[in-house]
Structure 1
Amino acid sequence: MTIHGDHPFLPPESERSPVRRLRGRLASPVGLWTTAYDGKRAGLTVASMVVADGDPGYVVGLIDPDSDLWETLRQARTAVVALLGEPHRRLADAFGYVAPAPGGPFKMIDWTDTEWGPAPVGVETWAGCTLVSPDPPEVGWALQVQLEIVHVELSPDETPALVHRRGRYYTL
């Protein structure tokens, strides 16, 4: 058996979608979207997202329509969008379903229940949001989910930000 740093199921670069390769060259913030409904929690690491300033402000993200997050978010109609930092790499991988999380990713850290969903303890920058539409448009492989920002918690901006580019995490 050989252990190597390459992804074992990744097709050769020449066979990958050029659009996906273009998207992969953009540095994206690493967000953790969480929600809860009727006692069920769901979350997903989301790097395909943008925050739109305004009154109100919005978070727009590309969400897998088959994800547990979407199923629960559609019912709950509220979510927490937390911006992850350097200390949260393992959490990002667990909620991205690319690393093991015995007992599930919600068992990895403590959570604060808010009116928008569970907020991760130790992640100081997050927004409480409401779902704009339970029937968002399809964009490529995903749903273009829009959340209206209702509440914002900001850190003193001392934690290095975690960004995703070409399948890897970097810090700013």
Structure 2
Amino acid sequence: MNTAPEPGAMIHTDHPFATPEGDRDPARRLRGRLTAPVTVWTSGKTGLTVSSMMVAAGEPASVCALLDPDSDLAETLGDNGRAVINILRWPHRTLADVFAGLHPSPGGMFRTGDWTDGPIGPILADAAGTALVTVTDRRPLGWSDLITATIDEVTLPEGAGDLLAYTRGRYRNLGQ
């Protein structure tokens, strides 16, 4: 008995929609080799997974991030200019995908995870940390909007060492 699969019936190990090697954007490949934090920014009743961000120490301390200008969060920030940055932990992988629009969440995105109402937007109860920020500048940069915000308040609970990071197209567990 022949158990070999029929031609065309094989399951391939590579991604079916991946850009061919020779056509890949060098800047995206460079970015893919940098480890990025995974956060969810919330404001009002909306949120977005954001990994292109950094913190600048100073008086006042600031955060810079790249946001999708067409996202609901970018629109909400245009209205009130304040956000909550929720730093994600390893168990929050599905939550990160929900807020990135990659995974369904029946009943709405805030049905995934344990959220509490905050003064600016929902706060993830078991986040590795949170920051309340006020947007001070917004301008187009590449395909994104560069958001600069002042850090108003930071909360860092003890023992949140299993941080969620993103590199080379995959989530990584930092802090083990």
Query: Could you say whether these structures have the same fold, taking a TM-score greater than 0.5 normalized by the shorter chain as the test?
Result: yes
**TM-score (normalizing by structure 2):** 0.87
Q: Mind listing any 5+ residue stretches in structure 2 that lack a counterpart?
A: 1-8
Give aligned-pair identity as a percent.
46
Q: Which residue of structure 2 aligns with residue 137 of structure 1?
A: 139
Cα separation, partners in 2 of 1:74 and 1:159, compared to 1, 3 Å: same
1-structure distance, mates of 2:12, 2:101: 20
CA deviation profile, 1:75-129 (whole Å, cap 9, x unmatched): 1211000110111111001111111222221111232222221111221401011
Alignment partner of 1:20 is 2:22: no
The answer (yes or no) to whether the contact 2:37–2:51 under 8 Å persists in 1 is yes
Structure 1 residue 14: Cα displacement: 2.1
2-structure distance, mates of 1:43, 1:2: 39
Alignment partner of 1:61 is 2:65: yes
**TM-score (normalizing by structure 1):** 0.89
Considering only CA atoms, is the larger Rg found in Structure 1 or Structure 2? Answer: 2
Alignment partner of 1:35 is 2:37: no
2-structure distance, mates of 1:5, 1:119: 38
Cα separation, partners in 2 of 1:171 and 1:153, compared to 1, 3 Å: same
Amino acid at match of 2:25: S
Q: Which residue of structure 1 aligns with residue 6 of structure 2?
A: none
Cα separation, partners in 2 of 1:52 and 1:2, compared to 1, 3 Å: farther
Alignment partner of 1:125 is 2:113: no
Structure 1 residue 13: Cα displacement: 2.9
Structure 1 residue 7: Cα displacement: 4.2
Q: Mind listing any 5+ residue stretches in structure 1 that lack a counterpart?
A: none
1-structure distance, mates of 2:11, 2:43: 36
RMSD: 1.7
Structure 1 residue 68: Cα displacement: 0.7
1-structure distance, mates of 2:21, 2:156: 39
Q: Which residue of structure 2 aligns with residue 44 of structure 1?
A: 48
2-structure distance, mates of 1:121, 1:2: 44
CA deviation profile, 1:39-86 (whole Å, cap 9, x unmatched): xx1111111000111121111100010011100111121100011011
CA deviation profile, 1:12-56 (whole Å, cap 9, x unmatched): 2321211011011100111111100xxxx1111111000111121
The answer (yes or no) to whether the contact 1:34–1:44 under 8 Å persists in 2 is yes
1-structure distance, mates of 2:32, 2:91: 22
SS of alignment partner, residue 90 of structure 1: helix
**Any runs of at least 4 consecutive aligned residues in structure 1 with deviations exceeding 3 A, and if so which?**
1-8
2-structure distance, mates of 1:99, 1:2: 26
Query: Which of 70, 84, 87 is the matching residue for 1:80?
Result: 84
Amino acid at match of 2:69: P
2-structure distance, mates of 1:18, 1:79: 32
